[in-house]
């Protein structure tokens, strides 16, 4: 069964450093998303991406964040200058096959645990 | 009012019993509804989509009540492996297809 994959599983960084979190969405999906979950809190939407551009972003997704689909398979989230409060689990998700079915059913990757020291 | 609300629980359920819980949503423009299961420190895993007519998948039954703006999940014949946090999520296509999650309902099935 196709699945979303994410690397690394755990990233530790110093405050102020840049991090890039990587995702490989399900291969025939067209819509890509990043969510985050701070320990003990709810899953929060960050950004959605379709047709090589951002379609929606949340208030959390400020200028420190950016997303990119550098090739036909990867989808990345960059945090330019990490803060302590960026420590969280970051989940990538994808949806929407080329056949046009299931655009709204999102499947999640296993997540990257980001720890900012 | 929070956009999506759930009773955090925990719901302590004897093995073999039935448990049901709801999720309310505030935005009447919400279009699609889902139940996800989340185990500790893991990703949300899709349990089922929730259709207007209600739907069933094995021991799990989901209902949607648009008039009262809530969805429900019922688990019959609970197994120890059903212990998890159940996340409700709603979607608005006009909002970039984003999912808005509730805080989750924790279910503990005990022998």
Residues A16-46: tens digit of each pLDDT: 999 999 999 998 888 999 999 999 999 999 9
Nearest by CB to residue A45, choosing from B93, B99, B104, is B99
Kindly state the DSSP code that residue A16 receives in the 8-state scheme.
T
Interface test with A, best of B98, B101, B105, B106 (most A CBs within 10 A): B98
B101 touches chain A (CB under 8 A): yes
CB contact under 8 Å between A104 and B43, yes or no, is no
| B15-B23-B102-B76 Cα dihedral, nearest 10 degrees | 20
Using a CB-CB cut-off of 8 Å, the residues of chain A touching B98 are 33, 45, 48, 56, 58
Average pLDDT over residues A103-110: 88
What's the gap in Å between the CA of B45 and the closest CA on chain A? 7
- Strand B11-14 with B105-110, pairing: parallel
- How wide is the angle at C-alpha B12 spanned by C-alphas B107 and B54, nearest 5°? 50
Residues B55-78: tens digit of each pLDDT: 999 999 999 999 999 999 999 999
Using a CB-CB cut-off of 8 Å, the residues of chain B touching A114 are none
Average pLDDT over residues A74-87: 97
Residues B39-53: tens digit of each pLDDT: 998 999 999 999 888
B104 touches chain A (CB under 8 A): yes
């Amino acid at each position: 069964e196709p699945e979303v994959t994410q690397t690394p599983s755990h990233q530790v960084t110093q405050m102020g450093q840049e991090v890039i979190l990587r995702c490989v969405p399900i291969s025939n999906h067209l819509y890509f998303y990043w969510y985050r979950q701070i320990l003990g809190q709810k899953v929060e939407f960050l950004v959605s991406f379709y047709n090589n551009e951002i379609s929606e972003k949340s208030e959390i997704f400020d200028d420190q964040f950016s997303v990119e689909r550098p090739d036909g398979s990867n989808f990345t989230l960059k945090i330019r200058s990490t803060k302590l409060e960026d420590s969280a689990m970051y989940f990538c998700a994808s949806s929407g096959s080329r056949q046009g079915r299931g655009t709204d059913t999102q499947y999640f990757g296993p997540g990257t645990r980001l720890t900012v020291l | 009012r929070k956009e999506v609300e759930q009773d955090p629980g925990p719901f302590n359920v004897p093995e073999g019993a039935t448990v049901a819980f709801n999720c309310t949503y505030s935005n009447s423009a919400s279009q699609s509804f889902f139940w996800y299961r989340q185990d500790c420190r893991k990703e949300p895993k899709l349990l089922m989509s929730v259709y207007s007519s209600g739907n069933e998948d094995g021991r799990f039954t989901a209902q949607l009540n648009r008039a009262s703006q809530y969805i429900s999940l019922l688990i019959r014949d609970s197994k120890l492996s059903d212990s998890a946090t159940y996340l409700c999520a709603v979607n608005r296509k006009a909002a970039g297809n984003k999912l808005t999650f509730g805080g989750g309902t924790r279910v503990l099935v005990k022998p």
